[in-house]
Amino acid sequence: MRIAVIADVHANKVALEAVAGDMPDVDGVICAGDVVGYNPWPEFCVDWVQEHDVPTVLGNHDRAVATAEYSGFNDMAAAGVEHARDHLSEAHREWLGQLPTERTLFDGRVKVVHGHPDDPDHYTHPSEFSPGLLGEEDVLVLGHTHVQSHEKYGDGIVLNPGSVGQPRDGDPGAAYALVDLDAMTVEQRRVRYDVGAVMDAVDEAGLPRRVGTRLSRGQ
């Protein structure tokens, strides 16, 4: 069984379409949260996840859009939340707010959280990966850091597929991963896309310009 793993789409339609176009035939797609935030297309990205029946967990930006509670966000993040709240329907916001903080999928073999199994807002960087993060699952999927990485241990795999819509590991390519649950292997993938088109859309939407310019540097 092969599954595609995405995270941190952050309302980047152009990157999401590039990842979807690159994705081979799989038995399922899962998302580790933050469908919305930062970029100009929250409605498209929520609709895509819903239409493709992608099991998703609640990210911190998803929660902020659903609840309008984002006082701790910086200016870029706050602008993305406000843009999403202005452009999403009440039904979209309710859907975001009802997302669980954790999912266990594929007969218990895969657990999905946003930040950390014990704290959905904790940034679990690759230096913190360890077999101690694993529970009964074979694969633990994390998001939140926007840094693509995975480690395989005797008891299973800890994986961050990286960010589709706003990578922060120095590589501007939209990130995702393929997991083979039979072979217990991970293939990390990067997909080039038209960052300039996103930068133009950021400007047109009146969002902070750095939301777009940082994409070209994978920051």
DSSP assignments along 175-207, one per residue: EEEEEETTTTEEEEEEE---HHHHHHHHHHHT-
Number of independent structural domains in the chain: 1
Residues paired with residue 158 on neighbouring β-strands, in sequence order: 140, 151
With H, G, I as helix, E, B as strand and everything else as coil, classify residue 113: strand
**CATH number of the structural domain spanning residue 18:** 3.60.21.10
- What is the chain's pLDDT, residue by residue, as a tens digit (219 residues)? 999 999 999 999 999 999 999 999 999 999 999 999 999 999 999 999 999 999 999 999 999 999 999 999 999 999 999 999 999 999 999 999 999 999 999 999 999 999 999 999 999 999 999 999 999 999 999 999 999 999 999 999 999 999 999 999 999 999 999 999 999 999 999 999 999 999 999 999 999 999 999 999 999
Give the tokens for residue 75: 């200016």
pLDDT score for 88: 98
Where does the chain show beta strands of DSSP type E? 2-6, 28-31, 102-105, 110-113, 139-141, 149-153, 156-160, 174-180, 185-191
pLDDT score for 90: 97
CB contact at 8 A, 61 and 77: yes
CA distance 10 to 12: 6
In one-letter notation, the amino acid at residue 219 is: Q
Full residue range of the structural domain in which residue 98 is found:
2-217
CA distance 88 to 102: 24
Q: How many residues does the chain have?
A: 219
Closest CA to 6 of 208, 115, 162, 210: 162
Instruction: Note if the pTM is more than 0.85.
Output: yes
pLDDT score for 172: 97
CB contact at 8 A, 173 and 16: no
pLDDT score for 217: 94
Residue whose tokens read 């795999």: 157
CA distance 14 to 208: 18
In one-letter notation, the amino acid at residue 31 is: C
Give the tokens for residue 104: 């266990």
Closest CA to 4 of 135, 181, 133, 194: 181
pLDDT score for 1: 96
